[in-house]
Each structure stands twice: as C-alpha cells, then as structure tokens.
Structure 1
Amino acid sequence: MTKATNRVAAGLAAVTVLAVLTGCGGASDADRGTTGGSGDVASLTTPSAPASATPTGGVGNGRPQLRLDSTEEEEQQFWMTYHICLRDNGVRENEGRSAGAVGDGPGLSLDQSGEPKAAYVACADKLPLQPPELDRDRNPNYVSQWNDYVQCLRGRGLKIHSLPDGSGWTYDDGVANPANGLEGPALSKVERECTMEIFGAHR
C-alpha cells in the first residue's frame, strides 16, 4: 500500500512534512508516504491544489514564497492560512483524525479529494510556493542537485535510494533499520542540513 507524501525537504517543515523527500521529495499538501514495509517516500515538491485551480499568469501571482531558510513557524503559518481558507470555502475536515495529521499540514486534517474545486480556486493565491531552488521548472540544476541531495542523506546514515522518476526517495528494501535511528525531528534536521548544503550552494 502506497500513501503519497509531500514533503518539502530540509525541514521546511512542519508541514510534515517530507521526510517526503517525503524521502525528500513527498505528495499531498505536505505529507509523508510509505511504500510497503518500512519504505517512506519523500519529496521536495508539494503539489496541493488541482492543476485547474492553480493561478495563471506570472510566477507566484501573489502567492506566498517560501525560502530555503524559512523557519518552521513561517512555513506553518503559510500552510495554516491556506488550509483554513480551504476549510472556510467548503473543503471538508476529516472526522476522527487528530489535528496536524500527516499529509494535511499543521493543525487541520482535510479531505484530499480536491473538491469542491471552487475552494481551491478561491484559495489559490494563498497556496505557498516552494523555494525556487526546489522547483524543477525554475532551477536548471535541480536534477543533479537532487541526486546530490539523496547522496547527502545517505552520507548521514539513511539507507535510501531515489525513485526512478526523481520525484522523491524511498528506503532500501531488505535492509535492517534503514532509517538508522533518524526519525521525526532528527530526520527533519538532517533533511534541512542537506537541503541547505546542496540546494543552498551557488552552483
């Protein structure tokens, strides 16, 4: 069973968020995914609204812009504002799930069906933009840096490999303790360090 995850690596974070890459690279507003067994799937990108609901026009179109060095609190505030807007415009809250449930960002657990589309259109200008360095469409060095990022995480003890399409990473199969004790805040710290080291470098 695979649960998609969106994680904005480097501890941009609290929306997990990604060891997405959710292994760094993850999948719904900010969640963490697992691919069978112990394999978490992580991602640096964070697709949230349906494509048809995203704003058109110039880059950003007034949307809040996250930075590589955005603090957890800043990121949480942006995502909370976006999720409250979705809720107030008709997106249902999941019943029986605790606040801050993985995959929905801090504080709210929202239905992930993408309905009603009008809510995503109404809130499109509040959907945070990932840092340009983590946007493969805006960073011409993204692919090579992504590979270096995965190697950085491996160098910190994680037994992981990049997914074939480069959309994230997952834990190696058949390996005892692939996370090597790095979970929760410790994993976020390592992700942030590698994100700053690789994507923050001027290349």
Structure 2
Amino acid sequence: MHTFTRSRPAAFVRRLTVIAALTSLSLLTACSGEQESSGKAGDKDVASVTGGDKKSDEAVQVERPLIRPDTSKEEEWRLTQVHLDCLSQQGLKMIKNKGGETDGTYKGIDTRAEKNQNKIAAAKKVCAAKEPETLPQRAAREDPEYQDKYDKWLKCMRSHGLKVSATPDQPGIFSFDEGLPPADKEKWVKKCEAEAFVAK
C-alpha cells in the first residue's frame, strides 16, 4: 500500500508518499541512503511569536503555503524546495536528487544518516511555516464539512478506476491499495480533489 501526499513536487508524485493529492506530492521525508547526502535539508508545526515584556509565549499558528489542484508543478516544486532548504539550514542531513533537471536539488531528510529525532523535530518546528500543504490537509483543520468532501474525493477517484483507501490517522491523505496507478489515471487525483474541495 502506497501512501499518497501532495506536499511535494511533480517528481515526487510518482514516489507517492501520499499526503494530499497528486499535484505533485507533498510532503515527505525521504529515507533512501543511496543518494548523495549533504548537510542540507518524500505519504502531515506551528510557529510561535513573542512580543514585548508581558507577551505570552503562546504558539501562533502560521498559514502555510497552499498547494491547490491547479497549482503548477513548477510552483509546487519551488515551494517544496524552499521548505527543504530551510530544513537544510537547520543542519539536517539531506538526500539530493542526482541527474537530470533536478540534479542537486533536495529530495528529503536522510533519515538513515540523521538519527537525532530531537534535532529533526526542532528543525521542523523552525521551518513549519514554510512547509506546503494541500487543500485537503488544510480543510482537515479548518473546514467543518471536511469529512463529506474527503469521502467525495475518494468516491470520485474510485469511480475512475483508482483503488484508494482512507487513512483516518493522517487527515488530508489517502493510500493506493495496489501501487501507483498508470499515468492516464493519475490525473484523476487532482481532478477529483478539485471537484470535492474547490468551492463552485
């Protein structure tokens, strides 16, 4: 079963660590040790602001960059790289893409080399406001009609031959039951997302 998320660029869609949908997926931490690692930063934190003397230290939620069904692959890629670059600047070891147009760009955190979970958590907190999220992910937090829309999204994909399942523990995400679909069916992830979540 492949989890699908859309917080990553188009190149990541095929890798499908599914979090939100196939605009070119989201958001996830890579863990392959075969690609080149670097000291920079592939399936779901809040920034805090403090003011004058008596301001509280309460965390203030910052709106993250939004990846909509009509967001271009280029823009999604750019937003993802901004987030991964932020993680890299916090000192996390990263996996880089090798070869082709994406050579030297970030793929995700190298979880084989980066073992310090506290360090990873701290870096993610610092970079939380830069992490892109998809429309279903945002709706899961803010839209009281989220569940109905989510169910409609899955129903639409299934009606077009995609075998998908809900992931209750990961709001805004779904999983493919039998691996990644062929390219001619992949398009329905975004099309159905738009039908379910974009206001008419």
Deviations 1:49-82 (A, max 9, x none): xx4xx3131441xx43333422111111011011
Correspondence for 1:107: 106
Deviations 1:171-194 (A, max 9, x none): 45xxxxx56x833x4344111111
Structure with greater strand percent: 2
| Counterpart Cα distance in 1 of 2:137 and 2:62 | 14
Is contact 1:65–1:128 with CA below 8 Å preserved after alignment?
yes
- Residue type of the alignment partner of 2:60: G
- Which of 189, 192, 196 lines up with 1:191 in the alignment? 189
Provide TM-score, normalisation by structure 2. 0.61
- Which of 12, 15, 32 lines up with 1:16 in the alignment? 12
Correspondence for 2:55: none
Structure with greater helix percent: 2
Correspondence for 1:69: 70
- Which of 139, 143, 165 lines up with 1:139 in the alignment? 143
The count of residues paired between Structure 1 and Structure 2 equals 163
Correspondence for 1:93: 94
- Counterpart secondary structure, 2:106: coil
Q: Provide closer, same or farther for how the CA distance between residues 68 and 134 of structure 1 changes in structure 2, counting only shifts above 3 A.
A: farther
Is contact 2:9–2:73 with CA below 8 Å preserved after alignment?
yes
Question: Displacement, 1:99?
Answer: 4.5
Query: How much identity, in percent, do the aligned residues show?
Result: 24
Q: Provide closer, same or farther for how the CA distance between residues 139 and 191 of structure 1 changes in structure 2, counting only shifts above 3 A.
A: same
- Residue type of the alignment partner of 1:150: L
Provide TM-score, normalisation by structure 1. 0.60
Is contact 1:133–1:142 with CA below 8 Å preserved after alignment?
no
Superposition RMSD in Å: 3.8
Which structure: larger Rg?
2
| Counterpart Cα distance in 2 of 1:20 and 1:159 | 16
Unmatched runs of 5 consecutive residues or more in structure 1: 33-42, 101-105, 173-177
